[in-house]
Structure 1
């Protein structure tokens, strides 16, 4: 009966994640309590209240979360990883709710429908608002809800005395401490792909996308700027920011407004206003900046981390939390705010927004995007030390890219493990390479001599080994930057403690912050407001920060740079089929998914009409041979393991639709190319921060094992002799995951 405690079990047959329901299922997710969130309010309010899910899941990680709402807000909550069941407010849903025993119910609406529902629920604790049984007026359930409730007693208090945002008051109503938890919306993988494709089409040759949401719903219609005001605003933006492409956003109600604006500005892009709410979210996700009134779109922009500028006339600007990534443009009319649905004044606030304020904020945002640091044009020589394995070194690339941007005229050298340097030269990330044979003290000494032949201005020691530290002391650099470790007590001009709550590429960028005060301020703000630590454990990171992306890797479209042997092998694959790469190897034995599982996965993929390329480096040929033996004479599978260099592997990966790999360098290389990746995690865990750095990374792991993690890298032998972290992941599960990724 324990299977019924899995959140995926539907009651009458196994879910789509496995063919049988038991605790050995890799997707088994035990539930220990049920929690209900009731929020029937306006769509923008529902978006705002999704921030509560971060705290709910933090305090109750194994909870089963039900959210009750009304149409069309149920559409907003689709695909949300923290919500197990979305119910619409109707009779059938009320019957369903009666079957639950809730640990906590959060009644967030000041609404009689919500209050009337509460007596029928089975709940240990209820937070929020109920109704007076005599008058039917809304009242706070406990003292936590009193402050938010009391704001409704006085316009003076609501409009002028209150300084707290609505989301802070909502957190306090639920008994939570508010520490800038962000709104939380989710897009499905097809929606993300559609949004990115839309962005590319809209952007064209321009440098940024500015979305203007022209409406605000039908409740308080004057929350939007007038059409003439928006036309005037576009005039000013086009004059001051000619490199920006403007897109008009909205739903069906905004079609006529957008058409009217388009008559005056035919070069702005009209988004499709007829395709529904989820499509509108994709459009908002596609832009860089969102301009809006106090609307649902404004809240969606904030949720997606867009730089959001919102105009406030009849409503209260202080009630909205922008998380340091936007601004409120407030009406200067004496009667604002008023919260009136109708206005009979001759001069109306929505006709006279301060459009110059919008442009000022836009120009400040534009400048911040261009210069997150002080740019230096002096000719300097910089040396970066990172002698780690290739996978870890790939995570250094965002650092090298920003280093190149900051020191645009500098000569950058990289000290790395032998056999890797040529790859970084070909990507134009560095200008000179110094390779070392790891384990050889003489090799490090020779590198120091070679580096010291020319003066070194800056040295960044990324690798945290004692040998790398000694090498940095041997190099005669004017300034040395590194991490604060137990053994490097002297020798560095500046050191920083590694922030374990952010991913490894961002930890490396801490070193750049040591060398540049402006970047240090920028980096601190980004780390504070984007909650990277919350993304460490998510099995699909929604969005890598744009300023720390991998660079675009320009590769030849043909196979001219491949050896004839590799061309010949690839020529054996069926024409027109999708090519998928499988990397069965890893430096560490315990990080390898079993070879027979890779063989079974390859067999299923070929049966589905795909082509499979087995890939890996020298020393890993044994895994390819084993897979070939198990497959026999299977058409559609070729073996390149041990036959290609790092650069040739990149060229082959460029042709592949998807990559399946262990937690190894191969997954990081695929992420560099922006490929879809399925990666297996076993002895290591996502919270270490070494996940592949990309927007299309999917993870299979067994999260129920108490023995995970068993080390920071993995082992050559399982410490408990079972290797269950990898053997518990089935080939069928991997195949289904691949199929879902490919769509």
Structure 2
């Protein structure tokens, strides 16, 4: 989801700088709401677990896509499935993302510790290859969505500033220790409204425990449709997230995003779009010199599992307060 969300600011820039060009976005149906406010963009969803599953399904999908009469293909994913589709569709012009695998490998191995090209810029480079250079330096974002009565009832309305907190990530090495996160949430709830985001039974149970601790904490996990979650996120004053999808959802909507990093690092190019460098709170590399241990956080030494805990509760709370001020 994070990768898809990172395409949105790039596509918004494209639609503004090339308003006469139609874009057709191929993605999963679940992600359709991400593109809802983009002009001149059509979403074509792939049913990869149903009619478009496997090679025969991809062939069927390619035939359906050919009816769109696309003049060019911008492959922002560049995996086996998209490579097969590119072969089957026969578009006149095709450009694919350069994921910078060698430079990322060097970063993980410690050969070079330096900022790599951002994923957003890599997406933009694909369009430039097709003859559409993009300027991402002055992005615009949609206005916050007016929340309907049912959502306002859930979040109980408040004149306090709203902080979204998404404490989970795909891999344990990317998560802030839950006991420390509980302290962060409790401290912030004294002066702000805290809205919690997550998904799945286990995460919902944990967030329910956080919610029960004190007033001013509301768990939204499992209570809203995805499009409604986006509506709420658009109304946040700041999002606190791990190196995970929620950070990119907030960033694509123009919300300020503070991130906590464990075994991964912003230098790999996956920091949320258009956020100041100091909004990323990173683990201490003197204590954990092998960071980043991997690009996606799925590989790390056993004693690095709680590396994100090297960022103190006080540092997180103070950063949030500074951003909100």
Q: 2:241 matched to 1:658?
A: no
Name which of 276, 296, 299 aligns with 1:713.
Answer: 296
Deviation of 1:707 after TM superposition, in Å, equals 2.2
User: In the TM superposition, what whole-angstrom CA distance separates every residue of 1:210-256 from its partner, at most 9, and x where no partner exists?
Assistant: xxxxxxxxxxxxxxxxxxxxxxxxxxxxxxxxxxxxxxxxxxxxxxx
Name which of 126, 148, 154 aligns with 1:511.
Answer: 126
- Given that 2:192 and 2:216 are in contact with CA atoms closer than 8 Å, whether structure 1 keeps it comes out as yes
- Given that 2:163 and 2:237 are in contact with CA atoms closer than 8 Å, whether structure 1 keeps it comes out as yes
- Given that 2:283 and 2:307 are in contact with CA atoms closer than 8 Å, whether structure 1 keeps it comes out as yes
User: In the TM superposition, what whole-angstrom CA distance separates every residue of 1:474-498 from its partner, at most 9, and x where no partner exists?
Assistant: 1131211124689xxxxxxxxxxxx
Q: 2:242 matched to 1:668?
A: no
- Given that 1:580 and 1:657 are in contact with CA atoms closer than 8 Å, whether structure 2 keeps it comes out as yes
Structure 2: how far apart are the matches of 1:423 and 1:415? 12
Deviation of 1:436 after TM superposition, in Å, equals 4.0
Structure 2: how far apart are the matches of 1:630 and 1:412? 42
- Given that 1:701 and 1:725 are in contact with CA atoms closer than 8 Å, whether structure 2 keeps it comes out as no
Task: Provide the residue aligned with 1:700 in structure 2.
Answer: 281
Q: 2:133 matched to 1:552?
A: no
Question: Superposed, which structure 2 residues align to 1:484-499 within 5 Å?
Answer: none
Deviation of 1:579 after TM superposition, in Å, equals 1.5
Aligned CA distance change for structure 1 residues 636 and 584 (closer, same or farther; 3 Å): same
Deviation of 1:464 after TM superposition, in Å, equals 2.2
Deviation of 1:443 after TM superposition, in Å, equals 4.5
Task: Provide the residue aligned with 1:124 in structure 2.
Answer: none
Deviation of 1:555 after TM superposition, in Å, equals 4.0
Task: Provide the residue aligned with 1:363 in structure 2.
Answer: none
Q: Secondary structure at the match of 2:87?
A: helix
Question: Superposed, which structure 2 residues align to 1:76-115 within 5 Å?
Answer: none
Task: Provide the residue aligned with 2:7 in structure 1.
Answer: 396
TM-score norm. by structure 1 comes to: 0.38
Structure 1 or 2, whichever has the larger Rg, is 1
Task: Provide the residue aligned with 2:68 in structure 1.
Answer: 454
Aligned CA distance change for structure 1 residues 707 and 501 (closer, same or farther; 3 Å): closer
Task: Provide the residue aligned with 1:416 in structure 2.
Answer: 27
Deviation of 1:700 after TM superposition, in Å, equals 1.0
Task: Provide the residue aligned with 1:325 in structure 2.
Answer: none
Structure 1: how far apart are the matches of 2:63 and 2:193? 49
Structure 1: how far apart are the matches of 2:26 and 2:300? 32
Q: Secondary structure at the match of 1:661?
A: strand
Task: Give ranges in structure 1 of 5+ residues lacking alignment.
Answer: 1-389, 487-499, 527-543
Q: 2:313 matched to 1:731?
A: yes
Structure 2: how far apart are the matches of 1:588 and 1:513? 34
Task: Provide the residue aligned with 1:614 in structure 2.
Answer: 196
Aligned CA distance change for structure 1 residues 397 and 728 (closer, same or farther; 3 Å): same
Task: Provide the residue aligned with 1:434 in structure 2.
Answer: 45
Question: Superposed, which structure 2 residues align to 1:581-596 within 5 Å?
Answer: 581-596=164-179
Deviation of 1:603 after TM superposition, in Å, equals 0.6
Task: Provide the residue aligned with 1:471 in structure 2.
Answer: 85
Structure 2: how far apart are the matches of 1:648 and 1:731? 30
**Root-mean-square deviation over aligned CA pairs:** 2.8
Deviation of 1:420 after TM superposition, in Å, equals 0.3
Structure 1: how far apart are the matches of 2:174 and 2:7? 22
- Given that 2:26 and 2:44 are in contact with CA atoms closer than 8 Å, whether structure 1 keeps it comes out as yes
Deviation of 1:630 after TM superposition, in Å, equals 5.1
Name which of 557, 569, 573 aligns with 2:154.
Answer: 569
- Given that 2:294 and 2:300 are in contact with CA atoms closer than 8 Å, whether structure 1 keeps it comes out as no
Higher RCO structure, 1 or 2 (CA under 8 Å, sep 6+): 2
Name which of 90, 95, 104 aligns with 1:481.
Answer: 95
Task: Provide the residue aligned with 2:271 in structure 1.
Answer: 691
Aligned CA distance change for structure 1 residues 402 and 732 (closer, same or farther; 3 Å): closer
Task: Provide the residue aligned with 2:103 in structure 1.
Answer: none
- Given that 2:35 and 2:43 are in contact with CA atoms closer than 8 Å, whether structure 1 keeps it comes out as no
- Given that 1:600 and 1:731 are in contact with CA atoms closer than 8 Å, whether structure 2 keeps it comes out as yes
Structure 1: how far apart are the matches of 2:99 and 2:160? 51
Task: Provide the residue aligned with 1:579 in structure 2.
Answer: 162
Question: Superposed, which structure 2 residues align to 1:221-620 within 5 Å?
Answer: 390-405=1-16, 407-428=18-39, 430-437=41-48, 440-441=53-54, 442-483=56-97, 501-516=116-131, 519=133, 545-546=137-138, 549=139, 551-557=140-146, 559-560=147-148, 564=150, 566-571=151-156, 575-607=158-190, 609-616=191-198, 618-619=199-200
- Given that 1:418 and 1:437 are in contact with CA atoms closer than 8 Å, whether structure 2 keeps it comes out as no
Aligned CA distance change for structure 1 residues 427 and 645 (closer, same or farther; 3 Å): farther
Deviation of 1:696 after TM superposition, in Å, equals 5.0
Deviation of 1:448 after TM superposition, in Å, equals 1.6
Q: 2:325 matched to 1:740?
A: no
Aligned CA distance change for structure 1 residues 501 and 637 (closer, same or farther; 3 Å): closer
Name which of 220, 228, 240 aligns with 1:648.
Answer: 228
Aligned CA distance change for structure 1 residues 703 and 474 (closer, same or farther; 3 Å): farther
- Given that 2:73 and 2:91 are in contact with CA atoms closer than 8 Å, whether structure 1 keeps it comes out as yes
Q: Secondary structure at the match of 2:72?
A: strand
Task: Give ranges in structure 2 of 5+ residues lacking alignment.
Answer: 101-114
Structure 1: how far apart are the matches of 2:297 and 2:89? 32
